[in-house]
Structure 1
Amino acid sequence: MSGLEAVLRPHVGSGAIPGLVALVATGDDVEVVALGSQGTSGAPMQRGSIVRGASIAKPLMAAVTMMLVEDGTLDLDAPVSGLLPELADPRVLRTPTSELDDTEPAQRPITARHVLTSTSGHGFATVETPVVPLLVERLGQASMELDKVPAPDEWMRRLADIPLIHQPGDGWTYNASYDLLGVLLARAAGKDLAELMAERLLGPLGMVDSGFFVPMEKRDRFTTLYGSDLSVSDEPDGSFAEPPAFASGAGGIVTTVDDMLAFGRMLLAGGGDLLTPGSVRQMTTDHTTPELREMGGFFLDGQGWGYGGGVDTSVREPWNVVGRYGWVGGTGTSAYVIPSRGSVNVLLTQVELGSPESTAVLEAFWTHAATA
């Protein structure tokens, strides 16, 4: 039994998770472990099993954003209202906990950089705010039923009616900015986000099993999704069986460990043929301040935020490595690169986390990847 399997096997079949597939790669040395079942079908988990990636989509979105910046299609510091007129005159809660009618005008325009750094004012907060229920009810945030999310133009119309939690640039909030980013990129490029991502990122990297839905011919490799209580949440012929009206850049990706390995290796190679090293450095560099990290609370857990993912800035836990970049998904997924070790580390499960807190299997995997 390999060291990776020994670390992960106790978490499978013990009532914690039905199955997982994990990968740790350092250079050409690649270790993959697949344990348990894909779901209610009883099919065994395999290296090529397809899993709902959820928020590990965010670093992919950041990469596509930087491609558009490099080719001059998008200006990070231009107001987004040029492409998103719905956000030309946003209202902002007077304080994050104010009532919905207690607002003031935005003091500055929302820029693409605000969206990329999750400082636009859209998203989940770590304080009680009346905005969050609206994000869930009207925009489908924090739901894996992405087939029920309205198409981008209607989504933007609804978003425009929801006040910002904080002034653009003055706070850090989670998730909704990356769905907003998807609409921004699509309008900038003049094509659907799914088409844009396939053309600019997934295709060139050979990420053949990644996208926003699972076609019938691949459905036998698609996993069941379970809730945190292990009740069935979604089956392979459910929410991801058809292309969605709204391709969620915040969390709508499906993927495999080998596809995420290809993405991680591109980052470790300084962008390869897709990005300049400078763009990769911007993605993997902490862009927060102590005040923003405090606002990020349990989402950031005291660490930094780059473009699309977290950046370890200190060793607070056994799994932290300064410079580690990546993110976790609410469906029990994790994908990180550790530049100092030249490693790519991917764990895919199919059990929703249920909260922003990490789980025992994630922590065991991260610690192994950081210390093996």
Structure 2
Amino acid sequence: MAVTGTAQTITPADAGFDAGRLTRIDDHFKQYVDDGRLPGWQIVVSRAGEVAYSSTYGKRNIEQNLPWESDTICRMFSMSKPITSVAAMILYEEGKLQLKDPVAKYIPSFGESEVYRNGSFVSPVTEGLTEPMRIWHLLTHTSGLTYGFHNNHVTDALHRKAGFEWGIPKGMDLAACCDAWAKLPLAFQPGTEWLYGVSTDVLGRVVEVVSGQSLDEFFRERILDPLGMTDTEFWVEGDKRDRFAELYFPKPTGNARGEGPSANASVMPAAPLDRKPTMLGGGGGLCGTAADYLRFAHMLLNRGELDGARILGSRTVDYMTRNHLPGGAELETFGRPLFAETEFAGMGFGLGFSIELDSAEHKVIGSAGSYAWGGAASTAFWVDPAEEIVVLFLTQLLPSSTYPIRSILQQLVYQALVD
């Protein structure tokens, strides 16, 4: 696979797609911009490492009238998680950590964690761990760690009270955040449920401790540079700033139809990310381009290697992209029915990715064994090994649950396959 960008490198017909049917993707998602739901977007579909469809539409900055272009840089948010998971598995392959290792072996404060049992956020009642939080719990989101923005449970409220909701307390680095999270009660005993939370951020700290490098240095040396991901980083500086997309969120009122793209989306005050941040969040801190992330996804599709750069062994990628929930459980029964960057029905979870188990249960056409994740600004990607397909969707609207995007994109991609 020799993927250098997002420009089309193969005809739809040669990739097994009907070109006319692929236009339905544009036809549908242009409406999201025209009626104000999204500022702009970028969609890339590849097969067997060749780009068969690539399109952009709308603006990367509405106020400055700047178009979304093929090299636009955006906040990836939780699409950082698969990269952090790969980083951890690089260390696993080197024998520097094991999946059953207690997290406290690398971050001692987690050896004193408590688990919420009952009570209010003012006076929660906790109990001790029945077993340690382990590395595989972080990779599978079964650690008991949560997010403050869930607004569903006492442990979420405790995270907000401590200053963790959509951001972190000012001045805290990753090590300090981990120690603060370790002092907050877990939502459940590790390994007993699935809950989307700061697990991957903690995993990023493990990578730092084990490697002796900061997370950005490890990413650059072991993943980003070998794959040629030159525009991916925790910050955007210099001449790249002109390509950086603005972050938006929906206005609470107003009918956008017929009123232009700015009617239903407003600029969200966000960190400028013009310098290295204090906290390097492996769970959601990276910025990058479609071309870069496509190279990462093609490395996964190619089972750990791209253009001669071997990031992981082939069997390691296979192992990461199988369902690791205990007993082969589905998220629908094992996960808490809260927000996550995936739907739950027919889905399992691997080491850093959601795993499609049954498309009939999922109620969206697809392939068993496909793996995926998305980001809070409505970005998403998936890899389908059976069909050799990679799909990438970038935009900048927070939160990702605002409008239906991912399931519709999936049905529009697969309906275009005709081989």
TM-score computed with the length of structure 2 as normaliser: 0.82
In 2, Cα distance between the equivalents of 1:54 and 1:149? Answer: 20
Deviation at 1:62, TM superposition (A): 1.2
Equivalent in the alignment of 2:44: 23
Find 1:290's aligned residue among 329, 335, 339.
329
Equivalent in the alignment of 2:404: 360
Equivalent in the alignment of 2:266: 231
Highest CA radius of gyration, 1 or 2? 2
Find 2:352's aligned residue among 308, 330, 342.
308
Equivalent in the alignment of 2:16: none
Find 2:388's aligned residue among 327, 342, 361.
342
Q: Please tell me whether residue 120 in structure 1 is matched to residue 146 in structure 2.
A: no
In 2, Cα distance between the equivalents of 1:287 and 1:371? Answer: 30
Equivalent in the alignment of 2:129: 106
In 2, Cα distance between the equivalents of 1:283 and 1:13? Answer: 39
- Residues 147 and 245, structure 1, Cα contact 8 Å, conserved in 2: no
Equivalent in the alignment of 1:271: 304
Deviation at 1:120, TM superposition (A): 1.1
- Residues 379 and 394, structure 2, Cα contact 8 Å, conserved in 1: yes
Equivalent in the alignment of 1:81: 104
Deviation at 1:146, TM superposition (A): 6.4
Query: What's the secondary structure of 1:48's corresponding residue?
Result: coil
Find 1:172's aligned residue among 178, 194, 198.
194
Query: What's the secondary structure of 1:154's corresponding residue?
Result: helix
Deviation at 1:193, TM superposition (A): 0.8
- Residues 147 and 240, structure 1, Cα contact 8 Å, conserved in 2: no
Deviation at 1:202, TM superposition (A): 1.0
Equivalent runs, 1:147-186 vs 2, <5 Å: 148=170, 150-186=172-208
* Length, aligned pairs only: 366
Deviation at 1:292, TM superposition (A): 5.5
Equivalent in the alignment of 1:133: 157
**Partner AA of 1:160 in structure 2:** A
Deviation at 1:137, TM superposition (A): 4.4
- Residues 52 and 350, structure 1, Cα contact 8 Å, conserved in 2: yes
**Partner AA of 1:170 in structure 2:** T
**Partner AA of 1:132 in structure 2:** D
Deviation by residue 1:288-307 (Cα, 9 ceiling, x = unmatched): 24375422425342211111
- CA separation of 1:55 and 1:96: change in aligned 2, threshold 3 A: farther
Equivalent in the alignment of 1:241: 274
Equivalent in the alignment of 1:12: 33
Deviation by residue 1:222-281 (Cα, 9 ceiling, x = unmatched): 00000132221146xx43121111111111111111111101111111111111112111
C-alpha RMSD over aligned residues: 2.3
Equivalent in the alignment of 1:328: 374
Unpaired runs of at least 5, structure 2 = 1-19, 252-264
In 1, Cα distance between the equivalents of 2:168 and 2:365? Answer: 32
Unpaired runs of at least 5, structure 1 = none
Deviation at 1:105, TM superposition (A): 0.6
Deviation by residue 1:101-143 (Cα, 9 ceiling, x = unmatched): 31111011111111111111111497832111232343534x2
In 2, Cα distance between the equivalents of 1:200 and 1:164? Answer: 32
Query: What's the secondary structure of 1:252's corresponding residue?
Result: coil
In 1, Cα distance between the equivalents of 2:111 and 2:353? Answer: 27
